[in-house]
Amino acid sequence: MTKPTGAPDQPPYLRIAGALRRHIAEGELAPGDRVPSTRQLAREWGVALATATKALTMLRLEGLVVARPRAGTVVATPATPAGPTAPGRSGTAPAPAAEQELSLERIVRAAIEIADAEGLAALSMRGVAARLGVAVMSPYRYVPSKDDLIQLMADAAYGERGYPADPPAGWRPRLELGAHTLWDLYREHPWLAQLGSLTRPLLVPNLVGHGEWMLRALDRHGLDPTTLFDIHLLVYSHVQGLAVHVEWEAHAETATGQSEDQWMDSRAPALTELVDSGRFPTFTKVVGSFENGYDLRLDTLFAAGLTALLDGLTPLIEGRTAGSTAP
């Protein structure tokens, strides 16, 4: 079976699905014939296994192929009506109420609820379907894959908070509002801070909207574009960098069965060994000064760090505005 090139601007999984669809339509693959496996497709097309799986999933949803035990994926036999049908009816049974009410918005909201409660690692398309009370494959009619679903979840979550049409006066109150808005979102949806990085950012409209607010706060203050964007990233990375620990701690507690305090108590012998070694006198002095141990407060660290960061940036930003007036 030759591999057509397909439309070069299409995602690879669509090109693979299109090629297989044509082979079925033209009779090169007849009902009952085995379809190339995901490993074969990945090798022949030079794509990842997930991409090949997505292509076969599309064909399953269209009813063109079916998975059979010990046989793999084969071309489906066209369905024939079981008997005469009334005029104007398809002869198929009506979908359950949950299926009829299914929508992309409901799927995304259910996925967010799962991630909020159990973490992103617990999210699966099967779990979303179970939460909605629909067939396992039903969500795939609206979103091709879990990765695509996560993108939609992130965009929806970032869109839950906006900014006033009449912004506060001054660059600093605007940056503070933007930072606190993101912090509140990450506190509400801890998994959100795990997505994307400074080097490989998450490009969804509602996150860019938060960036737009930050950049507008700094614009027209005499900053060159690189410095302006650097400041924006410094503030954003401060917020995200602390927020990732919320999800990490939740995951660690689930994995170990220990709370943060219980984990620290279990590490007491290691801490005592470090203190008694005499190699770290300042560390020993500071740790020994805590009457009831150190209480890690992320909200306090966030606020203190933001104040210190903006204090340090003030001479840079306000020094460039000498002789000019910012809005």
DSSP notation for 301-322: HHHHHHHHHHHHHHHHHHHHTT
Nearest CA-CA partner of 129 in 114, 147, 119: 114
Measured distance CA(230)–CA(175) in Å, rounded: 14
**Per-residue pLDDT, 293:** 81
* Confidence class for position 121, pLDDT limits 50, 70, 90: confident
The amino acid at 221: H
* Per-residue model confidence as pLDDT tens digits over 38-93: 778 888 998 877 687 778 877 877 788 877 655 678 898 875 443 443 333 344 44
Question: 283 pLDDT exceeds 80?
Answer: yes
Residues comprising the chain, all counted: 327
* Confidence class for position 218, pLDDT limits 50, 70, 90: very high
Burial class (CB in 10 A: 0-12, 13-18, 19+), 78: exposed
- DSSP bridge partners of 66: 74
**Per-residue pLDDT, 62:** 78
Which residue is listed with tokens 């002095």? 285
Phi/psi-derived region of residue 255, left when phi > 0, alpha when psi is between -120 and 50, beta in every other case:
alpha
Who has greater pLDDT, 186 or 254?
186
Q: Identify whether the C-beta of residue 31 lies closer than 8 Å to the C-beta of residue 24.
A: no
Write out the E strands in the chain: 65-68, 72-75
Q: Identify whether the C-beta of residue 66 lies closer than 8 Å to the C-beta of residue 34.
A: no
Residues in CB range of 122: below 8 A, 6 or more apart:
114, 115
- DSSP bridge partners of 74: 34, 66
Q: Identify whether the C-beta of residue 236 lies closer than 8 Å to the C-beta of residue 182.
A: yes
- DSSP bridge partners of 34: 74
Least confident of 23-32, 88-97, 157-166: 88-97
* Per-residue model confidence as pLDDT tens digits over 222-248: 999 999 999 999 999 999 999 999 888
Average pLDDT over residues 94-101: 58
DSSP 8-state assignment for residue 65: E
Domains of the chain, first to last: 12-67 (1.10.10.10), 97-158 (1.10.10.60), 171-320 (1.10.357.10)
Average pLDDT over residues 15-25: 91
Measured distance CA(110)–CA(101) in Å, rounded: 13
**Per-residue pLDDT, 37:** 85
Measured distance CA(54)–CA(57) in Å, rounded: 5
Q: Identify whether the C-beta of residue 317 lies closer than 8 Å to the C-beta of residue 218.
A: yes
**Per-residue pLDDT, 92:** 43
Least confident of 100-104, 142-146, 149-153: 100-104
Who has greater pLDDT, 151 or 61?
151
Measured distance CA(260)–CA(127) in Å, rounded: 28
Which helix (DSSP H) or strand (DSSP E) does residue 177 occupy?
Answer: helix 171-188
| Crossing angle (nearest 10°) for helices 125-132 and 104-118 | 110
Question: 98 pLDDT exceeds 60?
Answer: no
Nearest CA-CA partner of 250 in 189, 202, 184: 189
Question: 257 pLDDT exceeds 50?
Answer: yes
* Per-residue model confidence as pLDDT tens digits over 176-216: 999 999 999 999 999 999 998 889 999 999 999 999 999 99
**Per-residue pLDDT, 265:** 85
**Per-residue pLDDT, 320:** 64
**Per-residue pLDDT, 316:** 93
